[in-house]
Each structure stands twice: as C-alpha cells, then as structure tokens.
Amino acid sequence: LYGGSIMAGTWRGKQVAVGDVYEAIGAAAAGKITDADLAELEAVACPGPGACGGQYTANTMSMLMEVIGLSPVGFNSIPQMDPEKHRAAERVGKLALDVLAADRRPSQILTRRAFDNAIAAVAASGGSTNAVLHLLALAREVGVDLAIDDIDRISRRTPLLCDLKPGGRFAAVELHRAGGIAVLTQRLIDGGYVDGDALTVTGRTLGEECESVKETPGQEVVAPLPRPLRTEGGLVVLKGNLAPDGAVTKITQHTPTSHRGPARVFNREEDAFAAVYAGRIKPGDTVVIRYEGPKGGPGMREMLQVTAAIVGEGLGESVAMVTDGRFSGATRGLMLGHVAPEAAVGGPLAALQDGDIIEIDVAARKLAVENVDIAARLKDWSPPEPHYTKGVLARYALLVGSASEGAMLKP
C-alpha cells in the first residue's frame, strides 16, 4: 500500500505542487516574479503530508505497482490525508494474510506480461523517467528479460492519456477524484495496450479488478482513447554517437521534440545551476552536465535544480539539457538523462567541449554531436579523481553498472 499523494496547493487560483516552487526560484532569479511572490508560493505549495503532488516519481511508482499487480487495484491513488486511506490500510493488512495463506509469490505476478503492462501505464500517464531505472532493475532481479529498447517500443505504441503535472494541468489528487488509477488501466485494457489477463496480488486478474471502476462523469484528467493528448507515450529512448547505449527523456503534449544548439559543458550540477541562475545560459544552448552518472556521481543525482531553473527563467522552450545523471519526476522540458555509457567510464559525453553542436530529434530517436571525432578526443582523456576513495560510496562506484541496465550493483 502506497502512503498516498499530498493534497494540491492553491496559489492565485491555480493548483500548484512542489515542482512549481523549484521553477519559481528560476523565475525569481530572472526577475519574472518577486521574492515576495516566491515566498507566498512556498507557503502554500505543500499543504500537508504526502508524496509530491504530480505524476512525479513517487506517484508514478505507485501507479506502476498497481498495474504490475503487486498493489491491489483502487488503493494507491487515495491521497495521504483522505480518511479512506485508513480503511484501505486495514483491507490491505487482511489481504497480506490471505496472500501468505495462499502462498502467492511475487515471482508468480512479475511476468514479462506484467512488466509490459506497467511500461504502458507509465507511458500513458506521462510518468517519471526514473521508472525506467526501476523497471530494468526489478526485471533483472526477478529474471525477466527486459531491455531499455523494449521500454521505448512499448511507449511508442501507447497513447499519452493523462493530463497530469508536471507536463499537464492537474495535480495527482485529481486522478483519484476522476476514479483512480483503474480508470487509466481500463482505458488501456480496452485499447489493447494492457493485458487484462495478468495476475494480481489478490489472485484475480487485472481485468477482473478493474471491471467495477467508477469513472467520474465529465472528468478531464484521463483522455478518451479516440482523443489522446499524444499518439505516443511519454517515455522515449534516444541513441546516437553521444548515447550508444541510450538516453531517456519524458515527452508530454507541451514538450519540444527537437533541438540543435551549442553545448555548454559542466562537470557538476552545482556549476550548471550557478550558470543558469546568473543568466549565462542563452536561448538555443544545450546544457550538458556530465560525471553525474551511477559511477561518476556516484549515485546518479537528480538534476531538478538545473532543469527547474531553466524552465523558471523562461528558457524551457529554447534550451535543452543532456546529462548522464537523472531527473526528478517534477522535471519538464526537453531534458535527456541516463546517457550511457556515462562520462566517468569514458562515454562520449567525456569528449564534449563548449561550442560543440548537439542535435536532438525525438521523432528519429537521435542524440548526436556534429562533426566531432569522439574517439580521437577520448585518446587524450583520463578519468577524473573519484569523489570517494573509501567507505560505502567508494564501493558503490566500483560495483554499480550502467543506467541502461538499471544501474544495478554487480554481481
């Protein structure tokens, strides 16, 4: 059972969530709002306990767990402060005893069919790119053959249906008011994008669990199948000479899908944020943050500070970002992460220099640098000194694998 989303904040007549605060920091730096405006927004954006209030990483993973079959249908979208959450917890406790008595195991539920269903749900909801890492890692843990290209393939055939923050209009609580995650799941079953015969933790199929869904009349959170927000889902995997093993981005109905511009290269998130905050990033630039991957970080930090500052300063339509780090689920705009191989192991990002022209083409699934002999530049490259030479983070950096395989520890 998922703890539940926070309730939506309200600021000057519109719903807001924590992602709006991060973007407002950039807006304040650009003089678009005052410090008083920012303080007013900060005071109302998070009105109580619960997970971040959009289709960010926590709510994405709660949806994933319900559609993959590990969480019972109907409970995860209940907000944290809704009295119904306590009743749901009691029912889940009883279900846990039933599961033990029936000897029902995760290995019976976590089949390839279940993973395909989960990918489709994340893609259709405009969910967080962090789900890609979790799906790949979970699949390897249970012995299911799943590759990063499979995620792109399934997303490409699945329509984007949910109009949820950060790319859409509505806070996460509105999905529950619309009828819950099962409204989306039933849509996807009806369209043939999700297999309703997959087993769930209750012992019933996903289709059986969703049969009784009650969609709120007139709701606008989940689009009807004939009128999707986009004909393709939100998860996109790009490749090219900058990302031979893949890079991941999230595309919603408002995201730019192409960009060509000079690289502005940074070796740390903090340096990139300082440049954005100081107004040194200009329209057309491609911000590159490297050495932030699983090994290089170590730990693959999220770049929300930078992405939110870019959007907040009004550059979300004209500046793209490329990193071997990852993103918060609150990120929006043309932001490409999880670039593999990462710079710390001599991946192509390590060869980039300021001014190199980077091309991003979502339709062609392409991420490339123009007119650069990457191999020649890398002959003179040597890895930077590690941030940690002892302790758990040093061990982690030695053992962690590629983001394109879920950033799992080896062996």
Q: Does one domain contain both 275 and 222?
A: no
Q: Let me know if residue 188 belongs to a domain.
A: yes
CATH number of the CATH domain containing 272: 3.50.30.80
Summarize pLDDT for 29-61 with one digit per residue, the tens.
Answer: 999 999 999 999 999 999 999 999 999 999 999
Q: Indicate whether 248 and 164 sit together in one domain.
A: no
328 is catalytic: yes
Determine, yes or no, domain membership for 410.
no
User: What pLDDT sits at residue 57?
Assistant: 97
Q: Which of 233, 263, 293 is the last residue of a domain?
A: 233
Residues 2 and 149 in one domain: yes
Rounded CA separation 74/87 (Å): 12
- 157-177 pLDDT tens trace: 999 999 999 999 999 999 999
Residue 385 lies in a domain: yes
Q: Are residues 184 and 239 in the same domain?
A: no
Residue 197 lies inside a defined structural domain of this protein = yes
> Would you say residue 76 lies in a domain?
yes
Domain end point (choices 190, 206, 233) = 233
Mark whether 176 and 292 lie in a shared domain: no
Q: What is the pLDDT of residues 4-26, one digit of tens each?
A: 999 999 999 999 999 999 999 99
Asked if 117 and 149 sit in the same domain, the reply is yes
Please state the domain count of the chain. 2
Catalytic residue among 62, 328, 402, 404: 328
Residue numbers of the domain that contains 4: 1-233
Domain-ending residue, one of 179, 211, 233: 233
CB neighbours of residue 20 within 10 Å:
24
Chain-centroid distance, C-alpha 345: 24
Looking at the domain assignment, is residue 411 inside a domain?
no
Residues 171 and 145 in one domain: yes
Burial 27-58 (b: 16+ CB within 10 A, else e): bbbbeebeeeebeebbeebbeeebbbbbbbbb
Whether residues 150 and 82 fall in one domain: yes
Q: Specify the pLDDT at position 411.
A: 87
**Is 156 inside a domain boundary?**
yes
